[in-house]
Structure 1
Amino acid sequence: MTDPQIALFMLGIFIFCVFLGFPIAFTLMAIGIGFGYYAYYDPGRMWRSYNRLEEDAGLWESTQLWLEGFYNNRIFDLFVNQTYTVISNEVLTAVPLFLFMGYIVERANIVDRLFSTLAVATRNLPGALGVATLITCALFATATGIVGAVVTLLGLLALPQMLKMRYNHSFAAGIICAGGTLGILIPPSIMLIVYAATSGVSIVRLYAATLLPGLVLVGLYFIYIVTRAIINPSLAPRPTEDEVPSMPLGKLIWLLTTSFIPLAALILAVLGSILFGLATPTEAASIGALGGILLAAAYRAMTFDRLRESVYLTVRTTAMVCWLFVGSYVFAAVFSYLGGEKVIADFVAGLDLTPVQFLIMAQLIIFLLGWPLEWSEIIIIFVPIFLPLLPMFGIDPLFFGVLVALNLQTAFLTPPMAMSAYYLKGIAPENVKLTEIFAGMLPYCGLVIISMVIMYLFPQIVFSLPDAVYGPSR
């Protein structure tokens, strides 16, 4: 076999191991080091250690020199260097801080107060409780960026209320599942930080570029919910006075002031300080983490157990992301050294695709990868395969990143591997069937595709804000 064929064989083994359920980070490292030992094997370096053996050398000295010869391979240097590169990456430093902010906010009992207030504030809108759920999901997802946490928490808070008010099971479940995924698109998003570290795109420009597309997607969801409720009121009956009582304007304003405004102010302060250059993402994340602690303390929800749990979850998730990066960097370096990257580039070039066809092909592959894989594996492992091909088609990696972020919404919403559905089913009442949850999510997949088409037809939605704030870069 030639080296490029071995590289493709290496990729095939990795995909096979993923479907078998092996831990992805350690699979990447094991395959990368294993094939890397072959790729970087240098007989001269290895046998130079053996030549140092003397006839009267003892067993201990012989063993030491034999081990030195075995490990005298550049793949181990590469592994150490890539690990250090990941640990010292300044962009990734923001990940644990944003995660900690999200976990603290999640455990501070802020969302239940926010949802109750929005339910009263939107009571006169068609699909009022669905609208309140969407707004709560969008705000909470933005604060945490953790899909499972948002879907689970809103499933516990909003789903029983919507079912109590006679909402259609599929309609109610679809709102929660779709709204819960918004955190991987709307900044400050952990996914965007990971993409920026992978692609080399400026994180502040990426945050600015995804803000308007995120609002467009939320707007499409809002229009869909209200329109469906108007056309078919039985899907979302209007609440009665007993179910959601009206409230004096002054009291409603006070509730909004104490529930909606503090969390919104925290998010805007973090995001605004990044977008306007007042702080780096890491500094802004530090402010957000401190703000989350103060917010939880203000709501009298800060306890030592909650703080300890938040720290533990932050460390666990951060370790997962970092080891994924280490494994991916080692795997990608060996794959490229063996010529696998060039084979893929030559293959795509031979297809004679237009930029539109390439985008469709790339997004379709990412869409399919979203079934068995989480967004982190897709961004860290597979998106770098497409990045070197972008200049060939004249595609800005910033624009490509926005499309990927939109596309990954469908990874959580497309049966049969839609994780949002399983998160919700795990805490939903028994009479809510998994098939009903799947049916409720599918329209939102269509809305995501529509939003991607809108971004392609009107790319100024992506570029207008970063160009206005930071100047054109193209």
Structure 2
Amino acid sequence: MTDPQVAVAMLGIFIFIILLGFPIAFTLMAMGIGFGYYAYYDAGRMWMSYTRALQEDAGAFTLVQNYIGGFLNNRVFDLFVNQTYSVMANDVLTAVPLFLFMGYVVERANIVDRLFQTLSVTTRRLPGSMAVAALITCTLFATATGIVGAVVTLMGLLAFPAMLKARYDTRFASGVICAGGTLGILIPPSIMLIVYAATSGVSIVRLYAGALLPGFLLAGMYLIYIVIRAIIQPGLAPKAEKLGEDIGLFQVVWMLLTSFFPLAFLITAVLGAILFGFATPSEAAAIGALGGLLLAMAYRALTWRRLQESVYLTVKTTAMVCWLFVGSWVFASVFSYLGGEQLVREFVEGLSLTPLQFLLLAQLIIFLLGWPLEWSEIIIIFVPIFLPLLPMFDIDPLFFGILIALNLQTSFLTPPMAMSAYYLKGIAPPGVQLTQIFSGSLPYVAMVFLTMILLYNVPAIIYWLPQLVYGR
């Protein structure tokens, strides 16, 4: 086999192994080192010290030591160490644990319960008011945490039973929770965008600025859909009887000031500091983490146990992301060294695709990968395969990244591996069927595709804010 064929075999074996359920980060590292040992094999370098020891008639212990040393004298081990150090020293990735910590602290501070109740009262006169309140709460909470599983699970415990008790249609209610919970990977400060920035080299502040309008556009489309469905089919979302009728305007304002605005201010302050250049993403994330702690203290919800849980979950998730990066970069380096990247490039060139056709093909592949894989694996492992091809089609990596962030919304909503649906099913009442949750989520998938089409035809939605703040 030629080296490029070995590279293709390496990619195929990797996909097969992860479909069997092996841990992805360690599979990447093992295959990168295994195939890298073959790619960087240099017999002269490896057995030089052992041969010298033989010539000098060294003792058995020295021979064994030199034999082991010769076996390990392969550049793939240097590559592994260097890539590990590069990941740990990456300034962009420093923001990941800080934003995660902010999210986990906010999640455990009982803020969401207060927020949902306040918004339910505030929006009580709107059609589908509880669904509207649930979506706004999901959007704000998802933006603060960026952790889809946490948002869907917590909102599934708070808002979903309340909507079912108010006789909301099960499909309608479940779709709101599942779709709203995924918005955190698109709307800044998004962990996914930080990971994409570290992978692609695109400025994270430009990515945040570019994703802001598309994120709120998608959330706005969800809200419009909810209200229109509630007007056309009032049986899906009956008006809650006497909800907040005895609460005056002053009380509503006070509830907003004590529940909605503190969290909204924290997110706005963090995001504004990044977008307007007052702080780097890492510095702003540190401010956000401190703000989350102060917010939890203000609500008297900061206990030692909750702080321990937040730290543990932050370390656990950060380690997963970082080791994925290490494994991915070793794997990608070996894949490229063997000629796999050039082979992919020549194959795509041979297809004679237009930029639109290439975008459609890339997004289709990412859409299909979203069924068995998490967004982190897709961004870290497979997106780097597409990035070198973007200059060939004159596609901006920023534009490409926003489309991917939108596309990955569908990976949480599309059967058979819609993770949002499984998160919700795990804590839903026994009578709720998984097929009902799938059915409720599908209209939101259509709106994601509609938003992607809109962004392709009106790219100014992405570029307006970055160009306004940072120029061309």
User: How far apart, CA to CA, are the structure 1 residues paired with 2:266 and 2:395?
Assistant: 35
| Corresponding position: 1:128 with 2:129 | yes
Q: Structure 1 length as normaliser, TM-score?
A: 0.99
Deviations 1:366-416 (A, max 9, x none): 000000000000000000000000000000000000000000000000001
Q: Which residue of 1 aligns with 2:90?
A: 89
Please show how residues 228-247 of structure 1 align to structure 2 within 5 Å.
Answer: 228-241=229-242, 243-247=243-247
Aligned to 1:200: 201
Match of 2:177 in 1: 176
Hey, what does 1:459 align to over in structure 2?
459
CA contact (8 A) 2:113 2:158 kept: yes
Matched letter for residue 303 of structure 1: T
Q: Which residue of 2 aligns with 1:261?
A: 261
Where do 1:279-318 residues align within 5 Å? 279-318=279-318
With normalisation by structure 2, the TM-score equals 0.99
Mapped to 2, the partners of 1:369 and 1:322 lie a distance apart of: 21
Deviation at 1:267, TM superposition (A): 0.2
State the distance in 1 between where 2:101 and 2:184 align.
Answer: 15
For 2:217, the equivalent position in structure 1 comes to 216
TM alignment of 1:389-468, pairs within 5 A: 389-468=389-468
Offset of residue 52 of structure 1: 1.6
The one-letter code sitting in structure 2 at the alignment partner of 1:146 is I
Separation in structure 1 between the aligned mates of residue 305 and residue 73 of structure 2, nearest angstrom: 48
Letter in 1 for 2:172: F
Determine the C-alpha separation between the residues in 2 that align with 1:396 and 1:69: 45
Equivalent residue, structure 2, for 1:152: 153
Paired with 1:278 and 1:246, the residues of 2 have a C-alpha distance of: 44
Partner of 1:143: 144
- 2: distance between equivalents of 1:79 and 1:152? 37
Deviations 1:412-442 (A, max 9, x none): 0000100000000000001111000000000
- Give the SS at the match of 2:390: helix
Distance 1:428 1:384 in 2: 37
State the 1:244 CA deviation. 4.3
- Once the two structures are TM-superposed, the CA of residue 59 in structure 1 deviates from its matched residue by 1.9
Structure 1 position 49, deviation (Å)? 1.7
* Cα deviations by residue, 1:327-373 (Å, 9 ceiling, x for unpaired): 00000000000000011111111111110000000000000000000
User: Could you tell me how far apart the structure 2 residues matched to 1:47 and 1:144 are?
Assistant: 52
Q: Residue 93 of structure 2 aligns to a residue in which SS? A: coil
CA distance in 1, matches of 2:352, 2:229: 43
**Alignment partner of 1:321 is 2:312:** no
* 1:65 corresponds to: 66
CA 1:71/1:122 → structure 2, altered by over 3 Å: closer, same or farther?
Answer: same
Paired letter, 1:191: M
* CA distance in 1 between partners of 2:244 and 2:453 (Å): 38
Contact 1:104 1:293 in 2 (8 A): yes
1:246 shift after superposition: 4.2
Q: How many Å separate the matches in 1 of 2:62 and 2:246?
A: 85
2:21 is the alignment partner of 1:21: yes
Deviation readout 1:27-85 (Å, 9 max, x if unpaired): 00000000000000011101212222145422211111101110111000000000000
**Deviations 1:290-340, CA, capped at 9 Å, x for gaps:** 000000000000000000010000000000000000000000000000000
Question: C-alpha separation between the residues in 2 aligned to 1:99 and 1:46?
Answer: 43
Counterpart of 2:168?
167
Question: Residue 245 of structure 1: CA displacement?
Answer: 3.5
Q: CA–CA distance in 2 between the matches of 1:245 and 1:365?
A: 50
**C-alpha distance in structure 2 between counterparts of 1:425 and 1:244, whole Å:** 30
**8 A Cα contact 1:120 1:246, kept in partner:** no
Report the 3-state secondary structure (helix = DSSP H, G, I; strand = E; otherwise coil) of the residue aligned with 1:240. coil
Residue of structure 1 equivalent to 2:5: 5
Counterpart code for 1:114: L
CA distance in 2, matches of 1:36, 1:115: 52
Q: Is the 8 A contact 1:170 1:437 kept in 2?
A: yes
Secondary structure at the counterpart of residue 93 of structure 1: helix
Q: Give the letter for the 2:405 counterpart.
A: A
Aligned 8 A contact 2:102 2:289 in 1: yes
1:225 maps to what in 2?
226
1:131 and 1:246 mapped to 2: Cα distance?
21
Work out whether residues 127 and 238 of structure 1, in 8 Å CA contact, stay in contact via their aligned partners in 2: yes
**RMSD of aligned alpha carbons:** 0.7
Residue 118 of structure 1 is matched in structure 2 by 119
**Which amino acid counterpart does residue 126 of structure 1 have in structure 2?**
P
| Paired residue type of 1:425 | K
Amino acid paired to 1:430: P
For the residue of structure 2 that corresponds to 1:92, the secondary structure is helix
Give the whole-Å Cα distance in 1 for the aligned partners of 2:244 and 2:449: 35
Separation of aligned partners in 2, 1:228 and 1:100:
37
Amino acid at match of 2:358: F
Tell me the distance in 2 between the aligned counterparts of 1:251 and 1:219: 27
Write the distance in 2 (CA, Å) between the matches of 1:333 and 1:56.
39
Residues 244-253 or 316-325, more deviating: 244-253
- Is 1:79 the equivalent of 2:83? no
Which residue identity does 1:259 align to in structure 2? S
Q: Secondary structure at the match of 1:247?
A: coil
Output the CA distance in 2 between the equivalents of 1:353 and 1:185. Answer: 28
* Amino acid in the other structure paired with 1:360: L
1:188–1:207 CA contact under 8 A, matched in 2: yes
Q: Distance in 1 between matches of 2:347 and 2:49?
A: 42
Instruction: State the one-letter code of the partner of 1:65.
Output: N
SS of corresponding position for 1:52: helix
User: Post-superposition, which runs of at least 4 consecutive aligned residues in structure 1 deviate over 6 A?
Assistant: none
In the alignment, which residue of structure 1 is the partner of 2:360? 360
Q: Which runs of 5+ in 1 are unaligned?
A: none
